[in-house]
């Protein structure tokens, strides 16, 4: 079968990939049979997964909208994945037509597809680098240019830090990134939690152990610690569907089933 145009040369199609599995959950088409097989296996074990992924994407939309409404016109989206629905620049420009966005991901498929979508958009850039290499990330011309202007930046870390293992010191990574943000900047973050469905956590982490990006689900206090140096906005660090819902009636009686925790904070 010929290689699709959006698939870079040398892409390993024999192992599932977290970005492509996420794309499948959202109803996208940029995934392979191995990704769909893993996703279906995961859904069989945990039927709420597609709803959780959609809730996470909805948090991304609401948090970008909130920041744009509060004056943020520059966004740094780390772990941006494949922008299947409602990418940051699309949401931000509904409020701030001149919003600038730099997308960062270490996955070549996600980066290639993002570049194809964005084309020659002068207000966006796509950077391929690893979050764990903060020196290279912050030194990239597109990222440095976004930060050096001195205007507030919305640092988006949505569903990415649970792919950073404890051995890689994720809290220290966030502190280094936060230190580079201009005054008035903000952090929007979501993270898979151990606490909503502890009965599912071990098996789900086991599935992701098969991918190049193993999953580390963390407690409420561990996720809250990422916001050190930030003032959380109401309602604080809560389950995905609880963070400023468009319609409070959609939260339901069991928001803990949406096991991701989410919050937004302004840098002190």
CATH code of the domain covering residue 199 = 3.40.50.150
Angle at 88 between CA 23 and CA 246, to 5 degrees: 90
- Residue 126's contacts (CB-CB under 8 Å, 6 or more residues apart) are 80, 102, 103, 104, 105, 111, 114, 115, 118
> pTM value?
0.86
Express the helix, strand and coil content of the chain in percent, nearest 5 each.
45, 15, 40
Q: How far apart are the first and last CA of the chain?
A: 54
Is 7 within the bounds of a domain?
no
* pLDDT of 38 above 50: yes
Question: Rounded distance, CA 19 to CA 177, Å?
Answer: 22
Please say whether the beta carbons of 109 and 6 come within 8 A: yes
Strand partners, 222: none
- 238-239 and 260-267 strand pairing: antiparallel
Angle at 89 between CA 241 and CA 175, to 5 degrees: 70
Is 47 within the bounds of a domain?
yes
Is 3 within the bounds of a domain?
no
Is 45 within the bounds of a domain?
yes
pLDDT digit string (tens) for 43-97? 887 787 788 888 899 999 999 999 999 999 999 999 998 776 689 999 999 999 9
**What's the structural domain count of the chain?**
1
Q: Cα–chain-centroid distance for residue 199? A: 24
What proportion of the chain, given as a percentage, has pLDDT over 70?
Answer: 88
Is 5 within the bounds of a domain?
no
pLDDT digit string (tens) for 208-252? 665 566 788 899 999 999 999 999 999 999 999 999 999 887 787
Is 194 within the bounds of a domain?
yes
Three-state secondary structure call for residue 265? strand
Is 13 within the bounds of a domain?
no
**Residue 126 is part of which domain span?**
18-267
Is 33 within the bounds of a domain?
yes
Render 41-66 in DSSP notation, one character per residue.
Answer: HHHHH-TTHHHHHHHHHHHHHHHHHH
């Amino acid at each position: 079968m010929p290689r699709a145009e959006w698939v870079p040369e040398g892409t390993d199609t024999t192992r599932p990939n977290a970005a492509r599995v996420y794309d499948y959950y959202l109803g996208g088409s940029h995934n392979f049979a191995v990704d769909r097989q893993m996703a279906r296996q995961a859904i069989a074990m945990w039927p709420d997964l597609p709803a959780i992924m959609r809730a996470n994407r909805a948090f991304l939309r609401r948090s970008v909208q909130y920041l744009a409404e509060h004056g943020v016109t520059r966004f740094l989206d780390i772990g941006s994945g494949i922008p299947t629905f409602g990418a940051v620049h699309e949401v931000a420009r509904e409020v701030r037509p001149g919003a600038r966005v730099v997308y960062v991901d270490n996955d070549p498929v996600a980066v290639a597809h993002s570049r194809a979508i964005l084309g020659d958009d002068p207000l966006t850039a796509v950077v391929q680098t690893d979050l764990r290499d903060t020196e290279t990330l912050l030194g990239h011309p597109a990222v440095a240019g976004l930060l050096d202007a001195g205007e507030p930046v919305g640092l988006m870390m949505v569903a990415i830090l649970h792919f950073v293992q404890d051995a890689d010191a994720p809290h220290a990574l966030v502190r280094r990134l936060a230190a580079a943000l201009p005054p008035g900047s903000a952090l929007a973050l979501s993270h898979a939690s151990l606490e909503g469905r502890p009965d599912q956590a071990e098996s789900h982490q086991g599935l992701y152990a098969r991918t190049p990006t193993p999953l580390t689900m963390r407690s409420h206090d561990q996720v809250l610690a990422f916001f050190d140096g930030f003032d959380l906005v109401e309602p604080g660090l809560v389950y995905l569907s609880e963070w400023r819902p468009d319609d409070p009636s959609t939260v339901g009686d069991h928001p803990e089933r949406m096991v991701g925790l989410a919050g937004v904070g302004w840098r002190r």
